[in-house]
Amino acid sequence: MTDVDVIVVGGGPAGSCAAITAARAGLDVVLIERGPFPGSKNMYGGVVYPRILDGLIPNWWEEAPVQRWVTRRSTMLLTPTQALTVDFRSQAWGAPPYNGATAYRPDWDHWLAGHAEAAGAQLITSTVVTGLLRAPSGAVTGVRTDRPDGDLTAKVVIACDGVNSFLAKEAGLYEHTDAKHFTLGVKETLALPKEVIDERFAVRDNHGVDIEILGGTGGVNGGGFLYTNLETLAIGVVLKLTKLGAQKARPEEIIAGLKRHPAIAPLVQDGELKEYSAHVIPEAGLTMMPKMIADGLLVAGDAAALCLAAGIWLEGVNFAMASGMYAGEAAAEAVRAGDLTAVGLAGYQRRLSDTFVLKDHRRLKRAPELVLSDRVQHLYPQMIANVAERMFRVDNPDPKPGLRRILAQERKRAGVRRRDLARDGWIGFRSFG
Amino acid sequence: MSSPIIIACLKWVAHPGEPHDERFAGASPADRAALELALQQAKELGGTVTAVTVGPPATETVLRDAVAAGADRAVRVDGPAAMLSSDVAAGIAGVAEGAAWVWCGDYSLDRGTGSVPAFLAAALGAQQALGVIDVQFAAPGPAARVTRRLDGGRREVLDVTGPAVVSVEGAVADLRRAGLGALRVATSASIDVVPLRSPARRLKAVVQPYRPRAMALAAPDGSPLERLRLLTDAAAATAARGETVTLAPPDAAARIVAALRGWGYLDS
Amino acid sequence: MSDTARGGMLEPHAWGGLSFQERMATAEFRIHHTPHIVVDGRVCADCSTRECVVACPAALFVPTAEGGIVFNHEQCFECGTCYLVCNREGAITWSYPEGGHGVVFRRT
């Protein structure tokens, strides 16, 4: 006899969604959060795509703590003196059922955890899960916490304990942890009056902008982002861990460099720093993913490296919410069937494989490496920006050169080999096409 | 004799930095220290701990935390969120009558007046020791030796015997960490709700504010201009009190010390 | 060691008019007296790369004149960067602070 049916470790988006589906299936669920409230330890770029919640919380948009609805998406290519932006906007994204939204994680996660409690899960905060309880067979039978009398047993443990997931590691689900699979995200939340933000970003009401940036991170491979909240901006960079040390560049200096860029500076000028924050991101997608099922244990969200970092797409919370949801369903299935082994929990793997959670990752499995590669980071932006500059520059009395000639010249000038360009293009086409 | 009842008073209040955000609300470190001392004393005396708060239902959070930490009973005196300290004290007194000891925090999270403990002692007719920075339980016996912080860094040591109201600073004790089982049970623990009792002796409404009697004052000597110059001190005081010099650090330090000594700020 | 590796030693303009201390003061930390991360300076003594010093977003790793590294756990984001970039076995013992303590984000 166990204390409860399901223990969910971590009150982030994965954990709360797992607790919601498991509790709604009639199970006795405890949701354990190490911070003083759900979301207090959590940080991300700033945009969430909640489509997956449609089935879980109907009309979620009427109650979710959203800052702005993203109606404008830009992808920006920066060199030290140039910027090339592809800008798209859709009014459809500013009305139900919406697409993406900016939100603060301490608000978003707290709100989702409220739904877990409403579904009947018991939320325990300020409690760190320090390890797994195991049967002699190795099956997970509960968790150990940092509280007195802190052991709790369960039929299934769902580890949603984030990117550092010590539980997945303790269970041996990660073969190894390699710094090259991670990036460091640092960001600044900058306060500006709403009218100033509206004007600078050409939006009205609660509509907002999502700008993803390639280049602008100096010698450190990575990318940048700039999002609009209601009365703040979120500007930050995502940095390849292994390059950070090698380049001797400090994270906050790289943000400062991005903020000084001529294309960015007018947007963020006079913003008062409200909060500086940092978090590690599991960047490598399928390459680094652990096994997600063991006897009595499921792993979801960042803990399972379910984070999509593919240049133009930066998503994580949606993968966390979906995987958590499926983990809760699979746990309920296993408890009902009385088979708590990995075989009994296999419904989780099936759900992940049949949906975007793993389909997106399979399709884009080579994208993270491509996006963070030295050529994409350091050669192509300059080459592409130069091509654009030549296209738009008027060199009278010289006649306009043809695009093919500009391309050939700029490729050579940037030092890009034709063979590499073709190969990267092919990988990109296979991933994104 | 039945086992002594020890009261811990707790105030659930919004964080001044996030006044509209319940995620940051709670009891002050001083209130938490008071609860810890109540629990320790209950163990010494073989008594029970009753955690009390005054306020609306949302304040029951602090009581559940107290029950999780080991309080035997939790009582919420039903009242509005903002009240006069004297009324809060009267509400608590209704629960604390007959208690062997009452522990309070010296300040709440919103840094109020800290006057509830004094009002409470008056309402209960109990001894009081307020602003305590150290507590030693004198075993055996019902006494506690407490140290108070006084003005000018001075200390006062008191032997307090119950019934007494003691308010403590946050650094006196760290509230013990609640056990996991206790925490889970506490979320559904029953909390007694009692109505707010109106204070026994309310101050009469002031209908005529205090005014000092008129007094004849003699005009000062000397010309007005002379007095003005003395007060604004155009010449004399600046020479005595201020000067700007450029010196090497050791010499500057020596000069500052000499000046302070000359002005009488340093002894000998 | 380059200037950039010294965290708080840079001129404030490098961060847009804010000192590093002011930057860190924008985040809330509920400090626990027991350090959740322990650095064994003896292991660091012969480390030449010292990536933790550069990479830690809170600049909590500071090299000493004697060739060691001192670490301050109080303003830690609990991100994990340091143990991931560290290439010295046993130099960093990493865990989370006691429940309810450590960083508390509000607008992230």
- Which residues of chain B have a CB within 8 Å of the CB of A124? 180, 183-184
- Residue at B155: amino acid letter: R
> Cβ of A274 and C30 within 8 Å?
no
Q: Which residue has the tokens 């984001």?
A: C77
Instruction: Give me A431's structure tokens.
Output: 């991933």
- Which residues of chain C have a CB within 8 Å of the CB of A179? 84-85
Confidence of residue B19 (pLDDT cuts 50, 70, 90): confident
Q: Which own/partner pairs from B171-175 qualify as long-range (CB within 8 Å, at least 24 positions apart)?
A: B171/B29, B171/B33, B171/B133, B172/B33, B172/B37, B172/B132, B172/B133, B172/B134, B172/B135, B173/B33, B173/B36, B173/B37, B173/B40, B173/B135, B174/B32, B174/B33, B174/B36, B175/B32, B175/B33, B175/B35, B175/B36, B175/B69
Chain A from 57 to 116: CB within 8 A of any C CB:
104-106
Residue B240: its pLDDT value, please?
57
Domain A180-281 fold is: D-Amino Acid Oxidase; Chain A, domain 2 (3.30.9)
Residue B242: its pLDDT value, please?
67
Q: Is the pLDDT of residue C29 over 80?
A: yes
The answer to whether residues B117 and B22 belong to one domain is yes
Locate the chain C residue with the closest alpha carbon to A238: C57
Cα B179 from Cα B68, distance rounded (Å): 7
Q: Is the pLDDT of residue C51 over 70?
A: yes
The answer to whether residues B125 and B250 belong to one domain is no
Classify strands B5-9 and B101-105 as parallel, antiparallel or unpaired: parallel
Give the CA dihedral A256, A261, A264, A265, nearest 10 degrees. 70
The answer to whether residues B124 and B237 belong to one domain is no
Closest-CA distance, A177 to chain C, in angstroms, reads 8
Residue B73: its pLDDT value, please?
97
Judge whether B208 lies within some domain.
Answer: no
CATH class label, A4-67+103-175+290-363: alpha beta
Strands of B73-78's sheet in order across: B155-161, B143-149, B127-137, B164-168, B101-105, B5-9, B48-55, B73-78, B192-195
Q: Is the pLDDT of residue B88 over 80?
A: yes
Cα A249 from Cα B95, distance rounded (Å): 62
Tens of pLDDT, residue by residue over B162-197, are: 899 999 999 999 999 999 999 999 999 999 999 987
Residue A95: its pLDDT value, please?
96
Domain ranges of chain A: 4-67+103-175+290-363, 180-281, 373-432
- Chains in contact with C via at least 3 Cβ–Cβ pairs below 8 Å: A
Cα B61 from Cα C101, distance rounded (Å): 18
Range of the domain at C87: 3-104
> Cβ of C108 and A229 within 8 Å?
no
Cα A154 from Cα A5, distance rounded (Å): 5
- Which residues of chain A have a CB within 8 Å of the CB of C27? 275-277
Q: What letters, b where the CB count within 10 A reaches 16 and e where it falls short, cover B59-79?
A: bbbbbbbbbbbbbbbbbbbeb
Taking the Cβ of residue B17 and every Cβ of chain A, the question of whether any pair is shorter than 8 Å is answered with no
> Cβ of A42 and C98 within 8 Å?
no
Residue B13: its pLDDT value, please?
87
Residue B136: its pLDDT value, please?
93
Cα A102 from Cα C63, distance rounded (Å): 39
For residue A161, give the nearest of A42, A335, A253 by alpha carbon. Answer: A42
Confidence of residue B113 (pLDDT cuts 50, 70, 90): confident
Taking the Cβ of residue B177 and every Cβ of chain A, the question of whether any pair is shorter than 8 Å is answered with yes
> Cβ of A104 and C57 within 8 Å?
no
Report residues of chain A scoring pLDDT below 70.
Answer: none
Residue length, chain C?
A: 108
The answer to whether residues B95 and B41 belong to one domain is yes
Closest-CA distance, C41 to chain A, in angstroms, reads 19
Cα B189 from Cα C24, distance rounded (Å): 40
* Least CB–CB distance from C27: residue in A35, A249, A275: A275
The answer to whether residues B180 and B254 belong to one domain is no
Q: Is A53 helix (H, G, I), strand (E, B) or coil?
A: helix
DSSP element (H, E) containing A386: helix A380-392
CA–chain centroid gap for A24, Å, is 27
**How many Cβ atoms are within 10 Å of A160's Cβ, its own excluded?**
33
Tens of pLDDT, residue by residue over B209-266, are: 778 788 888 877 778 888 887 777 665 555 556 678 899 999 999 999 998 888 778 8
Crossing angle, helix A105-118 and helix A13-24, to 10 degrees? Answer: 10
Q: What CATH number does residue C31 fall under?
A: 3.30.70.20
- As for how many domains chain C has, the answer is 1
Cα C91 from Cα B75, distance rounded (Å): 50
Cα A222 from Cα A219, distance rounded (Å): 9
Closest-CA distance, C99 to chain A, in angstroms, reads 4
Taking the Cβ of residue A153 and every Cβ of chain B, the question of whether any pair is shorter than 8 Å is answered with no
Q: How far is CA B104 from CA A50, A395, B114, B117, B178, in A?
A: 46, 81, 9, 6, 20
> Cβ of A30 and B181 within 8 Å?
no
Tell me the average pLDDT across C38-57.
90
Confidence of residue B140 (pLDDT cuts 50, 70, 90): low
Q: Is the pLDDT of residue B201 over 60?
A: no
> Cβ of A148 and B184 within 8 Å?
no
- Over A284-303, what HEC string results? CHHHHCCCCEECCEEECHHH
Q: What CATH number does residue B56 fall under?
A: 3.40.50.620
Locate the chain A residue with the closest alpha carbon to B69: A148
| Angle, CA A187 vertex, CA A386 and CA A16 arms, to 5° | 125
Tens of pLDDT, residue by residue over B25-65, are: 999 999 999 999 999 999 988 999 999 999 999 999 999 99
Residue B197: its pLDDT value, please?
79
Judge whether B49 lies within some domain.
Answer: yes
- As for how many domains chain B has, the answer is 2
Judge whether B251 lies within some domain.
Answer: yes
> Cβ of A40 and B183 within 8 Å?
no
User: CB within 8 A of B165, min separation 6: which ones?
Assistant: B102, B104, B117, B118, B120, B121, B124, B126, B127, B128, B129, B130
> Cβ of A149 and B179 within 8 Å?
yes
A74 HSE (CA, 13 A, CB side)? 21
Range of the domain at B94: 5-195
Crossing angle, helix A317-337 and helix A13-24, to 10 degrees? Answer: 30
* ipTM of this complex: 0.94
- Which residues of chain A have a CB within 8 Å of the CB of B182? 149
Instruction: Give me B262's structure tokens.
Output: 């000359």
The answer to whether residues B14 and B116 belong to one domain is yes
* Least CB–CB distance from C108: residue in A105, A127, A130: A105
Judge whether B215 lies within some domain.
Answer: no
Q: Is the pLDDT of residue B143 over 90?
A: no
Taking the Cβ of residue B174 and every Cβ of chain A, the question of whether any pair is shorter than 8 Å is answered with no
Cα A381 from Cα A159, distance rounded (Å): 39
Locate the chain B residue with the closest alpha carbon to A149: B179
The answer to whether residues B67 and B109 belong to one domain is yes
Judge whether B163 lies within some domain.
Answer: yes
The answer to whether residues B119 and B64 belong to one domain is yes
- A248 sits in the region (left: phi over 0; alpha: psi -120 to 50; else beta) called left
Classify strands B127-137 and B164-168 as parallel, antiparallel or unpaired: parallel
Percent of chain B with pLDDT over 70: 91
For residue B83, give the nearest of B124, B46, B49, B115 by alpha carbon. Answer: B115
* Least CB–CB distance from A147: residue in B23, B179, B187: B179
Closest-CA distance, A117 to chain B, in angstroms, reads 12
Judge whether B116 lies within some domain.
Answer: yes
* Among B195, B214, B241, residue at a domain's last position: B195
The mean pLDDT of chain B is: 88
Fold match between domain A4-67+103-175+290-363 and domain A180-281: no
Residue B267: its pLDDT value, please?
73
Q: State whether the Cα torsion A417-A422-A424-A425 is positive or negative.
A: positive
